[in-house]
Structure 1
Amino acid sequence: MTTTPQEPVTAEAEPRRRLHPLSPILHGAKSIAVVVAALSWQTLSQVGLERFAIVVLVLALGVVIFSLVGWLTTGYHVVGRELRISDGLIWRRNRAIPLERLQAVELRRPLLAQLTGLAELRLEVVGGGKTEAPLAYLTVRDAAALRERLLALAGRTQAGEAQAGAGAQAAATGAPTLEHPLLRVENRDLVISQLLTPQAIFLPLGIAFVVMQFVLEAQWTFIGIASTVTAMAGVLLQPVRRVLQDWDFRLARDPGGRLVVRYGLLETRSQVVPLNRVQSIGATWPLLWRGHKWLHLRLDIAGYAGEPGGDNKRSDRLLPVGDFATARALVWDVLPGVDLATLATSPPPARARWLHPFALRYLGAGLTPEVFVSRWGLLTRELSLVPYARLQSVRVVQGPLQRRLGLATVYADTAGGRAGQARDRDLAEAWALAEQLAVRARLARA
């Protein structure tokens, strides 16, 4: 079989491109909002409305000029199998991102970007603690076409490049791509699921306590009222944020077999994930959801940075809320051959009850032909599925109490940052399990 060598791509073959001309305005608008928020009402009362407006105007002008300079000095182009990005005026920075390290590409549209028809492209790469190359902003058509092109080059196969090239051409011409829908979460179920959280359940009790304190005290200071309102807002922030993020959640398969995830209300997101980049799948059954027989699924993707300070540092959504039958079908689709209903696990030995007096019956681990399975949790029950081909290392760890009891924990580490774990196994069983995992990982990769 003979192959025709491809012509090398040089930097001169593609000129350096700039972001959309409206990018400085959008960047400036966010910075101006932060500046205005930083200026307190006390500053307004001290300097007066006219001077306050002049200060804001001068600062806004400076922010816009700074953003404009940044736009003029920022550019990107594709050279071979690298995305090269250059920026900076005084300190020039040039980055070359090898596309074989590409794990996922996300197309984000914050509210201002939606109003102006723009989008932000974010690349997640192996080993990245944060988003490697956020390109903000491009038109939606250009962002979609660039995403398809980068994924095609990251695939490193002629068939994959042909499929993704067709998708890029469709995105560039505005033609719809042929996607196979997998799932659409009802917004009603999403809202109810977030009402069934500890924050929402105990909020009425908190309000009743505040009302009783107000009645008994008869008077409250401004600081007391502000502190109470701030505390209540903080309690509600997480479920409200989750509803806004997961609104209109949809899953689909593109012609190249990749997973397409779309969600968001105020900020819409569209993420394309090659299934061979999935490191593990996690399932969680929260206590308050069990009455509806609901659970949620997450994907762990190598290099996916998530939101700074968020709870999804290296994971992404697969199913925000759904029943077991839906979750079972999704797991089978992402990990062919893995049936969520037939995963068998074995518990730790009885002497592990000294470490887990109440939750021992919910601990378990098992080996299936495709994945390493581990489960744990008393109130919130969790399940982890790690394909053998994604294992990076296997560890056997013993704490001081485990040594006294002859127990050990086996960790199966992946590039996604999470590890499957068989907790508190008999020491001989732990070493045998670690050896089996290492052997199966080598066979799966081969």
Structure 2
Amino acid sequence: MTAPPEAVRQGDEPRKRLHPLSPLLHGAKSIAVIVAALSWQTLSQVGLERFALVVAVLAVGVVVFSVVGWLNTGYHVVGRELRIQDGLLWRRNRAIPLDRLQAVELRRPLLARLTGLAELRLEVVGGGKTEAPLAYLTVREAAALRGRLLALAGRAPDPADPAAAEHAGPAPERPLFRVANRDLLISQSLTPQAFFLPIGVAFVVMQFILDGSWTFVGIASTVTAMAGVILQPIRRVLQDWDFRLAHDAEGRLAVHYGLLETRSQIVPLHRVQTIGVTWPLLWRVKDWLHLRLDIAGYGGPQSGDAKHSDRLLPVGDFQAARQLVFQVLPGVDLAALATVTPPPRARWKHPIGLRYLGIGLTAEVFVSRSGLLTREMTLVPYARLQSVRVLQGPVQRLLGLASVYADTAGGRSGVAEDRDLAEAWWLAEQLSIRARAARGPAPLLTSTTTAGPRDTPDAARHP
């Protein structure tokens, strides 16, 4: 009896294990979490010797658990699927169809960099979180596997010799843009956390002086609280350090960044769902903004996953943003986007910020803008629209208004907030028509009535 083709392929490429140092790296991360959870208060109560003994016992247990888990973990490519077996108490066998692959990220945390290892993270359609983290592989193995998976996801021919692919060098990249680290540092100093931190420090010091108590636990707890306040801008600096954009040999977007933990992402441009442009209040002094990408397969804002989108430009001026938007969405000029404000009666709902609300329709994208202090603009390509919703609340019904939501696959929605009711239905119809035209003859969206537009577009270089 002839074996099925899948079994033949599976026999030709046996299951591979992760790197032998993987258990130690996983154990080190778990131990750090345990030590942080025990807190300064526990140290002061049990003493240094008992604290160290508890940590040592837990560390041995964590390492043993990690080693057993490593022995039960493996992966291999079968046809156009990546198959992963893992689990200790509950064994899992996952088959990930590569035609659903959206992006592959090569990540190198600090401990992995010290040991010459890397981690692969795969994002697939409809995933609320990373589907298949492979931690850890050598850098060469991780880069080769990423290239092979992306090739299979693009329906390129499967390499005949996977072993040869593992030893192939990285494909050349064409540099596109680089963020100056000096600008990154200045931008994170212009955040509310950094701006108000000296005031908080002065307040805490005055409290200590007035109370006259300077215990070790009190000082450590105060320093920990202050670190929590400043953590977000520091994390941003560490994450976005040496931020670089490039095009790879296949025309995909290659993103590299990170100081302690380096990250390298390959994003096919046709997977981009929306582009978000944000002008923070304090950044407008330097005429700076930042750009983000919403990518299909990354967890949406409602999922609670912090990695629902990724950065296209951590900080930069308008001209740099204009060039990058044109690279990702050819034909879209950020300086030429026209928007229309809601009708004057919407001022009952927005007494101050009405003029900062607006929408626009271009040949390529749906544009929406909002925000009083922090101003935002969202660009939604018509081909990425999944649904269009017209919603009307009780106050809107009294005012004859409605809001239109242009939804994408896992990305943020473009929102036309508080439009005239007839205009809202007209806009929904237009989005439906343009989405069908952009995606081909297959039916996508429907709407019910048509009405003419109310206002003349008002072009603005900045929202």
Identity %: 78
> What amino acid maps onto 2:140 in structure 1?
R
Are the counterparts in 2 of residues 171 and 177 from structure 1 also a CA contact under 8 Å?
no
For residues 43-74 of structure 1, the C-alpha deviation after alignment (integer angstroms, 9 at most, x for no partner) is: 66776666655544333222222111111111
Match of 1:443 among 419, 428, 437: 437
For residues 112-164 of structure 1, the C-alpha deviation after alignment (integer angstroms, 9 at most, x for no partner) is: 00000000000011111111000000000100111111111111245xx78xx
C-alpha displacement of 1:39: 4.4
Matches of 1:306 and 1:64, distance apart in 2: 34
C-alpha displacement of 1:179: 0.6
2:361 maps to 1:380: no
Match of 1:300 in 2: 294
C-alpha displacement of 1:169: 9.0
For residues 185-207 of structure 1, the C-alpha deviation after alignment (integer angstroms, 9 at most, x for no partner) is: 01110000000011111122222
SS in 2 for 1:441: helix
Match of 1:277 in 2: 271
Matches of 2:422 and 2:402, distance apart in 1: 9
2:402 maps to 1:408: yes
C-alpha displacement of 1:340: 0.2
Are the counterparts in 1 of residues 246 and 254 from structure 2 also a CA contact under 8 Å?
yes
C-alpha displacement of 1:87: 1.2
Cα distance change, pair 171–109 in 1 and its aligned pair in 2 (3 A):
farther
For residues 377-415 of structure 1, the C-alpha deviation after alignment (integer angstroms, 9 at most, x for no partner) is: 111110000000000000000111110000001000000
Higher mean alpha-carbon deviation, 312-321 vs 401-410, is at 312-321
Match of 1:79 in 2: 78
Cα distance change, pair 115–151 in 1 and its aligned pair in 2 (3 A):
same
Match of 1:243 in 2: 237
Match of 2:57 in 1: 58
Matches of 1:81 and 1:122, distance apart in 2: 17
Matches of 2:291 and 2:50, distance apart in 1: 53
Are the counterparts in 1 of residues 300 and 410 from structure 2 also a CA contact under 8 Å?
no
2:206 maps to 1:212: yes
Are the counterparts in 1 of residues 269 and 328 from structure 2 also a CA contact under 8 Å?
yes
Match of 2:363 in 1: 369
Matches of 2:177 and 2:413, distance apart in 1: 27
Match of 1:122 in 2: 121
Alignment of 1:17-416 (within 5 A): 17-39=16-38, 53-157=52-156, 172-173=166-167, 175-219=169-213, 225-305=219-299, 312-416=306-410
Cα distance change, pair 220–72 in 1 and its aligned pair in 2 (3 A):
closer
> What amino acid maps onto 2:21 in structure 1?
L
Unmatched 5+ stretches in structure 2: 441-463
Are the counterparts in 2 of residues 302 and 314 from structure 1 also a CA contact under 8 Å?
no
Matches of 1:414 and 1:421, distance apart in 2: 12
Matches of 2:216 and 2:50, distance apart in 1: 27
For residues 12-67 of structure 1, the C-alpha deviation after alignment (integer angstroms, 9 at most, x for no partner) is: 23111110111111111112223344445676677666665554433322222211
Aligned residues: 435
Unmatched 5+ stretches in structure 1: 1-6
Matches of 2:422 and 2:311, distance apart in 1: 37
> What amino acid maps onto 2:308 in structure 1?
R
For residues 222-269 of structure 1, the C-alpha deviation after alignment (integer angstroms, 9 at most, x for no partner) is: 666555433322210111111111111010000101001111111110
Cα distance change, pair 306–262 in 1 and its aligned pair in 2 (3 A):
farther
Are the counterparts in 2 of residues 250 and 261 from structure 1 also a CA contact under 8 Å?
yes
Are the counterparts in 2 of residues 170 and 176 from structure 1 also a CA contact under 8 Å?
no
Cα distance change, pair 196–53 in 1 and its aligned pair in 2 (3 A):
closer
Are the counterparts in 2 of residues 367 and 373 from structure 1 also a CA contact under 8 Å?
yes
For residues 306-348 of structure 1, the C-alpha deviation after alignment (integer angstroms, 9 at most, x for no partner) is: 9999784411000000000000000000000000000001111
Cα distance change, pair 439–258 in 1 and its aligned pair in 2 (3 A):
same
Alignment of 1:422-441 (within 5 A): 422-441=416-435
Matches of 1:88 and 1:64, distance apart in 2: 15
Matches of 2:348 and 2:45, distance apart in 1: 64
Are the counterparts in 2 of residues 106 and 270 from structure 1 also a CA contact under 8 Å?
yes
Cα distance change, pair 59–306 in 1 and its aligned pair in 2 (3 A):
farther
TM-score, L = length of structure 1: 0.91
Matches of 1:102 and 1:415, distance apart in 2: 14
Matches of 2:206 and 2:90, distance apart in 1: 59
SS in 1 for 2:315: strand
C-alpha displacement of 1:297: 0.1
C-alpha displacement of 1:290: 0.8
C-alpha displacement of 1:100: 1.1
Matches of 1:125 and 1:358, distance apart in 2: 42
Matches of 2:400 and 2:301, distance apart in 1: 40
SS in 2 for 1:322: strand
